[in-house]
Each structure stands twice: as structure tokens, then as C-alpha cells.
């Protein structure tokens, strides 16, 4: 698609007495509390030292086994269902296309990101392997069992991609290498490409190169915050967390050099206090470097330091989703777009017929992430309901139907004449 010149659209309207975006002053995380010494660093799990015995489903009423990567990894509930390890059904999704593997240790992640369910400040409340993350439980499974199942399924595997999610832990760099080796020893990385969701804080350029040389396809950096101020407030000094914006960018630029164009990217959470102008200029910066942005809609994760704050209003989220898609895949630039005094998009920078075509294809509103085998702009990483409940979907983990497009159009205040969405129109699809 060639996206040429701007044509005006009306900005989405705020609800009565409400902003239609999450502004900076409102999105202040709570202060982390003090953790009793005995609860720190996985103390109870290590003291009880319960031997693991295969799959562990997060339970809060029994002692968590002492599980540790690289022998154990955690995976999303969606991945466990897809692998057939647990029973379950996902609303309007047959399976997930990305096997997300998360490193696990009794000590957990040593960082303290304010929006994250895995953060260190939860030590006293819940053992690491029991913590919710992007709204769901993450069962722990022996790595050997995971590889056995995927290798056995061969070409019939539903997965289009595997992703290793590092966390902030002293062993994370080395264990990522071991997990990767155990995978590539049995599974051809050209059959199921591999992504690395990195932890820049503990990494060097040499680590990035090593992961590339071992067969990883895409390297991503979870900037998460769209500005240095929000980064510092949510995952740096503001919450006694070790991360640093400069270091994250250093590793992102290393990934650009080592992995190359379209093989690196950044995760960004929308709605933590940045303006639409700020986040879309960041998206543009990453595209200009040759990378992609993977967007997440802020959701107040239960137990996190931001669980008292509002989820991103859908109009803000849809504007950013749409604009990000145009920048990432349609050669539209952020500087072709127009913004109001609050930084909201008021003009997407392309003729309305082209904009309509993009909206109606629905791809812009699907979960964004590393591509799978369907198309370059369709993410394998579909993260079902990782940033919203099924009743109010932010990132669609499936292809949108007409009713979904009508709903999105209504959230953008861009209904087609005579095709208005009425709340609940999609509820007929709840038993699909």
C-alpha cells in the first residue's frame, strides 16, 4: 500500500468527566513496601526444598516446589493448553501460535517493574512460580518434556515460533543459552524460528552475538516504557529496580547490528502516561533503525504496583494501534500524522479510503509481535487475553470478524454510516 497525503478525521471524544487517555500525572505507581528478610530471594521455597515432580500448576495453598531453569521453564496458560499439558479452551482461539518459555528460579526476577506481576516486591505475598503474569497463570514444566512434545509433533506442531523470555537473575544469561541449546539440539530453528525476549540489564554485546550464532531469529528488548521518565518511574530508581533506559538502548542497538533489519524490535506498553505523539515517535525511531514495535495495552495487573490505575482507554489504544501499524507496515511516518494539544492523533496521514481499507482488514488491531508463518504483519505471538479480558479485547488474538471491526470503529469514533456497533453485539460469538 502507498500511503500518500493526510486527510482530516475527527478526534475520538472523551466520555463525560473522563479523559480518553491515561495522562502522566495520573499513572503514578505505588511505593513498593519492605519485604521481611525470611521471604526474600525465594527463602521459603529454598528452605522447604520440595522436589518438583513434573508439571506444576500455580497453587497458593501448597508449598511451591524448588524449580530452577534450565531444567524447568514456565509457559503461558495458552501454551500449556496448546501443548496438551492442561485442559482448557480459549475464547475464539483454537490455540496459540507462539510457545513462550519463561525462565524460572525460586529467587524469581530481581527487578521490580511496577506494572509486572512477576516483580520482586511480591516476594512476601506469593512465591515466584505462583505469580500471575500478563493476566494469566504460568505453569512450570520440565524443559525436557517441552522439547519432547514439540520434537515428537514435528511438522504438525501448531507453533509458528518459540520465544525465550529472560528475567533479571544472575543465571539468566547462561541459562538462556542452555535452554536454547536443548531446544536446537532436537528442533530445527528454521522449522520453528526462535525469538529472544532479552534482559538487557545483565547482558553484553557478546551475549547478543552468542544468541544469534546459536540460531535465534529475532531479538527483542522490552523497553516497555515509551519515555525515559516513565521508564525510570516504573522500572528504574522510582521503584527500586535496576533497569536503565540507556543500557536498554545500548542492547537494542547491538541487536540491530547483530540480528539486522526486521530481526529486532522493542516491546512498548501503551497507556502508562506517555502521549500518543511520544509513543508514535518512538515507533518511528525504531522503524527508522530497521526494527518493529510490539505493542501492549496497559492493564492493571493484580498484585502489581499499578493495579489501582485505569487500563488504557480503548480510544487511545486503538489510535495508537492503528498508527503504529501504518508506521510499521504502510510507509506512513509519524511526521505525516497530526496531533492535538494533548498529543492525541487527529489525522493518520493517509487518504480516508486507504485508512478505511487498513481498518477493515483488521490486522492493525491484532496482537503485535514477532511474525509467524501466515504473513509478515501477523504475529505468531498472539498472547490470548494477555492485555485485556475477552469481554473488552485490546489485542485481538484472532482474525477480526465484521462485528469486531464495527466495535473497533466505534472505539475510534469512526463508525460507518448505518453500521453502528451496539454494546454486546459480539456476545453471540462467546460460545464459538
CA-CA-CA-CA torsion sign (262, 274, 303, 175): positive
Point out which residues pair with 195 in neighbouring strands: 163, 218
Of 176 and 410, which CB lies nearer to ligand SF4 in the complex structure? 176
Binding range to ligand SF4, per CB under 6 A, among 13-21, 114-122, 188-196, 398-406 = 114-122
CB of 167 to ligand SF4, least distance (A): 5
CB hemisphere CA count around 12 (13 angstroms) = 27
| Contact between 101 and ligand SF4 per CB under 6 A | no
Residue 109 binding ligand SF4, by CB under 6 A: yes
User: Which of 69, 168, 367, 368 is in the footprint of ligand SF4 by CB under 6 A?
Assistant: 168
Stretch that binds ligand SF4, among 22-30, 37-45, 115-123, 337-345 (CB under 6 A): 115-123
Residue 139 CB, shortest distance to ligand SF4, in Å, is 17
C-alpha distances in angstroms, 233 versus 80, 112, 242? 34, 11, 12
Contact (CB, 8 A) for 255 and 221: yes
**Smallest distance from ligand SF4 to CB 123, Å:** 12
Which letter does DSSP use for residue 390 in this model? G
Measured from the CB atom, is 45 or 111 closer to ligand SF4? Answer: 111
CA-nearest of 297, 318, 296, 298 to 309 is: 298
Phi, psi dihedrals of residue 121, rounded to the nearest 5°: -65, -10
- Told to check if 116 binds ligand SF4 by CB under 6 A, we report yes
Q: Cα 205 to chain center, whole Å?
A: 23
Best CA proximity match to 82, nearest among 196, 178, 160: 160
Beta carbon nearer to ligand SF4, 131 or 366: 131
- Interface residue with ligand SF4 among 93, 99, 118, 364 (CB under 6 A) is 118
221, 266 contact by CB (below 8 A):
yes
Quick check: 272 binds ligand SF4 (CB under 6 A)?
no
- Indicate if the alpha-carbon torsion angle 18, 293, 347, 394 is positive or negative: negative
Here's the x/- map for ligand SF4, 228-267, by CB under 6 A: it reads as: -------x--------------------------------
Task: Choose, by CB under 6 A, the member of 27, 79, 119, 280 that binds ligand SF4.
Answer: 119
Q: Which residues bind ligand SF4 (CB under 6 A)?
A: 109, 111, 113, 116, 118-119, 167-168, 235
Amino acid at each position: 500500500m502507498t500511503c500518500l497525503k493526510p486527510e482530516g478525521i475527527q478526534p475520538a471524544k472523551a466520555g463525560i468527566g473522563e479523559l480518553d487517555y491515561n495522562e502522566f500525572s495520573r499513572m503514578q505507581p505505588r511505593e513498593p513496601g519492605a519485604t521481611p528478610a525470611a521471604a526474600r530471594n525465594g527463602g521459603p521455597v529454598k528452605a522447604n526444598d520440595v522436589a518438583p515432580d513434573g508439571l506444576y500448576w500455580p497453587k497458593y495453598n501448597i508449598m511451591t516446589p524448588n524449580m530452577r531453569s534450565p531444567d524447568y521453564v514456565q509457559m503461558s496458560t495458552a501454551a500449556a493448553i496448546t501443548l496438551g499439558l492442561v485442559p482448557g479452551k480459549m475464547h475464539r482461539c483454537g490455540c496459540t501460535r507462539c510457545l513462550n518459555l519463561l525462565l524460572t528460579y525460586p529467587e524469581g526476577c530481581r527487578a521490580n517493574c511496577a506494572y509486572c506481576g512477576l516483580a520482586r516486591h511480591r516476594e512476601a505475598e506469593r512465591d515466584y512460580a505462583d505469580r500471575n503474569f500478563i493476566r494469566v497463570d504460568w505453569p512450570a514444566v520440565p524443559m525436557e518434556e517441552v522439547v519432547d512434545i514439540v520434537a515428537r509433533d514435528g511438522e504438525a506442531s501448531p507453533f509458528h515460533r518459540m520465544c525465550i523470555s529472560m528475567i533479571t537473575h544472575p543465571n539468566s544469561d547462561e541459562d538462556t543459552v542452555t535452554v536454547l541449546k536443548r531446544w536446537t539440539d532436537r528442533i530445527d530453528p528454521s522449522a520453528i524460528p526462535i525469538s529472544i525476549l532479552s534482559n538487557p540489564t545483565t547482558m553484553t554485546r557478546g551475549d547478543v552475538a552468542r544468541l544469534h550464532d546459536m540460531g535465534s531469529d529475532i531479538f527483542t528488548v522490552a523497553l516497555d516504557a515509551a519515555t525515559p521518565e516513565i521508564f525510570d518511574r516504573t522500572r528504574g530508581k522510582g521503584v527500586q529496580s535496576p533497569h536503565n533506559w540507556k543500557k536498554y538502548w545500548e542492547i537494542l542497538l547491538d541487536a540491530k547490528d547483530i540480528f539486522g533489519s526486521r530481526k529486532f524490535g522493542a516491546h512498548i506498553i501503551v497507556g502508562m502516561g506517555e502521549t500518543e505523539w511520544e509513543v508514535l515517535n518512538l515507533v518511528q525511531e525504531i522503524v527508522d533503525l530497521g526494527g518493529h514495535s510490539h505493542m501492549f495495552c496497559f492493564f492493571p495487573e493484580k498484585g502489581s504496583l499499578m493495579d489501582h490505575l485505569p487500563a488504557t482507554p480503548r480510544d487511545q489504544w486503538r489510535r495508537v494501534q492503528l498508527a503504529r501499524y501504518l508506521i510499521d507496515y504502510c510507509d506512513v511516518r509519524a511526521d505525516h500524522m497530526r496531533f492535538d494539544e494533548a498529543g492525541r492523533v487527529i489525522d493518520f496521514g493517509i487518504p480516508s479510503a486507504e485508512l478505511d481499507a487498513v481498518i477493515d482488514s483488521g490486522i492493525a488491531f491484532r496482537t503485535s509481535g514477532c511474525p509467524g508463518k501466515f504473513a509478515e504483519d501477523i504475529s505468531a505471538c498472539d498472547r490470548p487475553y494477555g492485555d485485556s479480558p475477552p469481554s473488552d479485547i485490546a489485542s485481538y488474538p484472532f482474525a477480526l470478524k465484521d462485528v469486531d471491526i464495527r466495535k473497533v470503529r466505534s472505539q475510534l469514533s469512526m463508525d460507518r454510516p448505518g453500521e453502528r456497533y451496539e454494546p454486546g453485539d459480539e456476545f453471540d460469538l462467546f460460545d464459538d
